[in-house]
Structure 1
Amino acid sequence: MKKLGMINRDIAASLASFGHTDLLVIGDCGLPIPKGVPCIDLSYRIGEPSFLTVLEAVLEDFQAEAAFIAREITEGNPEVEKKVLAQLKADYISHEELKEQSKQAKLIIRTGEATPYANIVLRSGVIF
């Protein structure tokens, strides 16, 4: 049994398969999942697990060289925006662009988050 890091076997196995520049999306429960993109659905009730809880856990185990959030989050969900930006630097794109980028994702992790624009695209970096 793993002692540290991500203990969800599906997420741990997926993260181990990522290479440089692969895309990982962490989304709220309303984000559309594009056909053909693998999705690990962690939601079990509205709000649980939260987007921020999952993001924090993933960032402990995942090297992100870039992050993208919807610019609409500034007005639609400033509290989540503030907490995301406290954890990492993120570039703003439109929500429509974020949904387009999710079509290229290697994996989407769906949370139970039910607040607007609580989605992020992470681009895999390297650890050296």
Structure 2
Amino acid sequence: MKKTRLLHADLSRLVATLGHGDMVLVTDAGMPAPHDEPVEVIDLALTPGIPGIASTIEVLLSEMQVESHIVASETLERGDAWFSALPLDVIGPRSVVTHQELKALSRRARAVVRTGECTPYANVMLVSGVTF
């Protein structure tokens, strides 16, 4: 039995295989996943709001080393509480792109993690760091 908080086997395997600079996009329920690219989609959405994006990122961070993050300007404009609560000391510096650019960038992600979040523009790209 695992000792960390992350129990989802696919998410744990994903984190274990990440290299420096690999990207993981954690999304709301409505973000389209790339269909024409070999991007893994880990679909956690159960029902609207479950799991939420904030709790998903919190648990993911219990195993994933993150050096920076990327968000859409539309996400920042909304000023939602879930985003304000993200631990900047853990997710590192921020890059800002448009929502369309984030969708295009998702094609380069190692994986897209779809949550049950139903808040518009609730999407964060986490960029993997190293622990040494």
Give the TM-score of the pair, scaled to structure 1.
Answer: 0.92
> How far apart in 2 are the matches of 1:55 and 1:82?
13
On the 8 A contact 2:4/2:63 being kept in 1, the answer is: no
* Greater alpha carbon shift after TM alignment, 93-102 vs 82-91: 82-91
CA deviation digits over 1:40-89, x for unaligned, max 9? Answer: 11111011100000011111110111101111112334323312365634
The residue correspondences of 1:3-82 to structure 2 (distance < 5 A) are 3-35=3-35, 36-82=38-84
Structure 1 equivalent of residue 106 of structure 2:
102
TM-score (norm 2): 0.89
> How far apart in 1 are the matches of 2:43 and 2:78?
24
SS in structure 2 opposite 1:40? strand
- Structure 1 stretches (4+) deviating beyond 4 angstroms? none
Q: Structure 1 stretches of 5 or more lacking a match? A: none
User: Which one-letter code corresponds to 1:17 in the other structure?
Assistant: T
Letter matched to residue 29 of structure 2:
C
Which shifted more, 16-25 or 3-12?
3-12
What is the CA-CA distance between 1:91 and the residue it aligns to? 2.2
Q: Calculate percent identity across the aligned residue pairs.
A: 35
Q: Which residue identity is paired with 2:19?
A: G
Across the aligned residues of Structure 1 and Structure 2, the Cα RMSD in angstroms comes to 1.5
Unaligned runs of 5+ in 2: none
Cα distance in 2, alignment partners of residues 69 and 61 from structure 1: 21
Amino acid aligned to 1:22? D
